[in-house]
Each structure stands twice: as structure tokens, then as C-alpha cells.
Amino acid sequence: MQDKNAAMLVDRFSSLKSLRSNWESHWQEIGDYMLPRKADIVQQRTRGDKRNEVIFDGTAIHALELLSSSLHGMLTNAASPWFTLAYRDPMLQEDDEAQEWLEGVTEDMYTAFNRSNFQQEIQELYQDLISFGTSAMFVSADDKNMVRFNTRHIKEIFIQENEKGIVDTVFREFQISVRAAINLFGEEAMGANIAAKLKNDPYGDVRLLHVVMPRTNYDSSKQDAQNMPFKSCYINPEDVQMISEGGFREFPYVVPRYLKASFETYGRSPAMNALPDVKMLNKMSEVAIKAAQKQIDPPLMVPDDGFMLPVRTVPGGMNFYRSGSRDRIEPLNIGANNPITLNMIQDRQLAIQKTFYVDQLLTAQGGNMTATEVLQRNEEKMRLLGPVLGRLQSELLQPLIERVFKILERQNIFKPAPEILAQQSVEIEYVSPLAKAQKTGDLNSVMRGVEIFGAMSQFSPVLDYLDSDGLAKYVQKVLGLPAKIMKSDAEVQQVRNERQQQQQAQAEQEQLMQEAQAAGAAAPMVKAVQ
């Protein structure tokens, strides 16, 4: 018997599937030429089957891997901090206890990221993003590693935006073995058809539907799964039956888009821009290989009169013809011009590399650069990837970090917060190499101004305009220096008071010494007068 709620969701899924159909052929071509291991969007291949039949040049594959790895290194590098937490209340930034607790929370979050499978899954996400323009990662709690991440294949994901252009609905169509489905949900919940498959083919696959969407009506005072802001439903679409219904306190999916048109839901990618050049390059490379093969092993011209034996083209092969005849077995001149072909191929390769920013990325990774040159290269990358960075911060990094923060908070991983932090809001600050490059430009301007003020101070008291304490805190914030290596305001004031007391005591001692010396010099004169 069909479930009414399940039937409504299945109908909605059918509509989303129809709206996505125009993208699928595009994704299939991109997968065929640039990401063959995921090239099963429309064409379903057998597991373990070859997937590189149409590829004759690997330029696009290498360029895609370079850009995705560069984004990984610039945004979420495991070897360096890429985010930190801060209070929205600026007064709390001056509180040492509050800063110490926040740094502890940040360290706990990094521990959770490093213990989990985040690094390999985020790399998959970047590759999907560069290839298909849209990627999706499911973030969930884990009993063993605190947090677990799963990047879903683009063919499984169907999305919908809210009125603000934010993805808040995900339909995932996936396959799972009958045995695994029964173990997860129970035989009674699966429906008659799947229960029957358990006896006949328990290791065969069954198609399920997972729906995550906002709840319209729920009681926020209750904490059960049925009253959470986001509804989670597993459906058996074959029997149109609801398998299970739960919920999430936060949207569990992270769905970034590389670039997006305002009237489209799915994103656009560099691979889409490069696809015409990639297809042309592969065709040209295929033709060039055939032309080179013909030149190395050319077709032969064999006279049709008096030559009856098969032509032996192997090394040392002997072919007989009539003595005294001018007819010979000769190679056919095909008139191939390899230099022109190679120049055309190189032009396409350069065009593809520019689309994936290969020239800028490789130059930025060059060795033997000064610190100034490194800063300049980072600023160049910021100009190139600035628009992409803004979207990735809002659609990838922010929801990802917020989701992990809430999961760890519910697991009581963090130390108890001080009373001063009750009901205080925390915001995310990005300190990745790419984000630092953006802030470094501002810091360079400030330091240049300080240098100019220092030169002007030789003839004018312009340094009175500078707040040295404010400058020190600004440098700390921009460079992301941890609070534990910086002295607190109270400690700084204590050091300054001690220094002032020492200077005062030294001045008093010097004055006493001067008075003693003056008295010693005046003593003979007084004695002479007496």
C-alpha cells in the first residue's frame, strides 16, 4: 500500500529529476574527457571497466587535478590553519579567559577534522566542483572519529534552492545491497518487494531515496527527531513506501557551486568552459597519431601486374617481382605535415591550461622566490580566484565549520565555557593561505604607512598619530598569531609599570650620585675657606 507522504515526495523527486536532465549529458561529456573514473552519469558502465577510450591527450586531466589540488592547499590545507573562531562582541576579544577558551575550541575542531576522513573527501569535493560545477558533501556525527564526511557522486544528487538562493533541499537517489538495507532499516520497514529480494538475491542492489528538506511545522521546544528544523526521510520508491523519518538540527549537506547564473540552480565549472577545446584537442591528437603511424609505417603501392604474393612488411621480409620490370613496391606519400599539426595541438593545450589557471599556479609554486615575490604571487592568485573564493566561503567553508561545531558541541567535546560567554555568538574567520593573501595586502599598506611616518618623524612629530598598541593587535589579527604567545593587556601594563619604576629608581640613583659627586668636589673649597 502506497504511503501518501512518500508518494508526494516521489512526485517532487520526479520533477527535480526532469529539471536536471539537461545537465546530465553535459556532465557525462566532462566525465568522459576529464574525470573518467566518475564518468557514469548517463552511461552506466560495469564496475572495473575501462573508461579512457576517448582520451588521446591528458592535458585537461592534469590541469583539473592541479587546480583542485591548489584549491585544497589554499583553502583547507591540513599542514596549516585555515580557519579560526572569533566573538561578534568586540569587547570579548580583549578578554583573556574568553580568548583562551575559544582557542581551545578551535584546537578541538582541528583534531576532529584531522582524525576523520575529511582530507580525502574534501579532495573529491574539489574535483567534482572543478569538473561539474556542483558538488555535495554529507556531514554527520561519528561515534569513533567524532565527525564523518561523505562526498556524494553528482549523479545521485538533486537539489533545490530557497528564496535566498541557498540550497536547503537535497534528494539523493542511491543504490545499496538488499542485505545492507535490511540491516539498516529492518525487514518490516522495507516493503514487500525488497523483502522478497532478500530471499532470492540478498547481495543484489536496491534503489532508495533519501530526502533532506526544511520542516514547515514543528515544535522547537521538543528535541526529538520529529521536531527538528530539517526533515530526513528514507523512501522505497519502488513500493512508494516511507522507510524511516527523522531529522537534523542543521542542514547536513554542504553544496557549493563554483560559479552560478542567477536563473540556474546547478553551478558552472572551468571544465565546462574548456570542454570544446578538450574535445578538439583529443580529435587532433588522434589524427596526429594516425598521421605519424602512416609516416612510420606507410601504406604501400603494389603493382597489380605480375605480383601475386602477399606483401611482407616485417623487418627482413622478402618480396619477389619480375626481373627487369620497373614496377616496384613503394611507399605511398600521404603528404602529412607534422609541424603544423603539432603547433595546432600546442595552441589547444595552452588554451586548456589557461582555463584551469595552470600557468599562474605553476609560476606561483616556483622555487627560489623572495618573501616579496611570494606575497605578490599570492595577491595574483587572489585576483584570479577572488570571485570563486567568496562563493566557496559562503557555500562550503562556513556551513561546513558551523555543522562540525554544532556536532562537537552536542558531543560535549569542548571544555565548559566561562560564564562571561553565556549566549555569546561566535563567528568564523578564514586564515587559509588564500585568505591570508587578501589580508596581507592590507597589512602591506599599513606597514608602508608606518615606514613613511617613521621617515617624517625626523622633522615632524607625526608618530603621535599612531596607536602603537592598536597597531600591534592589528598585526596579530591579520597574521593569525595565537593569543597564547601574546601577553595580555594586564601583563603588558604590569611590565610597563615595572619598567617605569626601574627607570624612576635609576634616575633617583643617578641624581644621588651626582649630588654626592658635587658634595665631594665642594668639600676642599669649604675647608679652605675655614
Beta partners for residue 138, in sequence order: 150, 253
pLDDT (mean) for 122-143: 96
Integer Cα distance of 152 and 149 in angstroms: 10
Asked which of 115-129, 271-285, 515-529 is least confident by mean pLDDT, the reply is 515-529
Torsion angle of C-alpha atoms 508, 514, 516, 522, degrees rounded to 10: -150
| Edge-first strand listing for the sheet containing 136-142 | 146-152, 136-142, 253-254
Q: What is the reported pLDDT for 20?
A: 95
CB 397, CB 430: distance < 8 Å: yes
The whole-angstrom separation of Cα 291 and Cα 449 is 63
- How far does the chain reach from its first CA to its final CA, in angstroms? 130
CB atoms inside a 10 Å sphere around CB 395: 22
pLDDT of 336 reads: 66
* pLDDT tops 90 at residue 239: no
pLDDT for residue 18 is more than 60: yes
Average pLDDT score over the chain: 84
Average pLDDT over residues 339-347: 87
DSSP letter string, 475-524? HHHHHT--GGGS--HHHHHHHHHHHHHHHHHHHHHHHHHHHHHHHHHHHH
Query: DSSP labels for 308-351?
Result: -SPP--STT------TT-----EE------HHHHHHHHHHHHHH
Cα–Cα distance measured from residue 137 to residue 139, given in angstroms and rounded to the nearest whole number? 6
Asked whether residue 62 carries a pLDDT value surpassing 90, the answer given is yes
What is the b/e burial string over 112-126, where b = at least 16 CB atoms within 10 angstroms of the residue's CB?
bbeebebeebbbbbb
Q: What is the pLDDT of residues 387-410, one digit of tens each?
A: 788 889 899 999 999 999 999 999
Please state, in angstroms and rounded to a whole number, the distance separating the CA atoms of residues 132 and 119.
20
385 neighbors 364 (Cβ within 8 angstroms): no
Q: What is the pLDDT of residue 46?
A: 74
* Alpha helices (H) along 393-488: 398-410, 433-456, 468-479
Query: Strand locations in 74-142, DSSP E?
Result: 84-87, 136-142
Sign of the torsion formed by the C-alpha atoms of 236, 242, 243 and 245: positive
Residue 417: strand, helix, or coil? coil
pLDDT in tens, 139-164: 999 988 899 999 999 999 999 999 99
Grid cell of 201 as nine digits:
538475491
Split at pLDDT 50, 70, 90, the class of 370 is: low
User: pLDDT (tens digit, 9 = 90+) per residue, 464-504?
Assistant: 777 777 777 777 776 666 666 777 777 778 888 888 888 88
Give me the phi and psi of 58, to 5 degrees please: -95, 15
CA separation, residue 281 to residues 91, 277, 328, 509 (Å): 59, 6, 39, 85
207 torsion bin: left (phi>0), alpha (psi -120 to 50), beta (else): beta
Angle (CA) 476 480 484, round 5°: 75
3-state SS, residue 237: coil
The whole-angstrom separation of Cα 307 and Cα 85 is 86
Cell numbers at 240, concatenated:
512508494
pLDDT at 275: 96
Which set of grid coordinates corresponds to residue 76? 583547507
What is the pLDDT averaged over residues 192-218? 84
- Length of the chain equals 530
Residue 203: band (very low, low, confident or very high) from pLDDT cuts 50, 70, 90: confident
Strands 84-87 and 300-301, sheet pairing:
unpaired
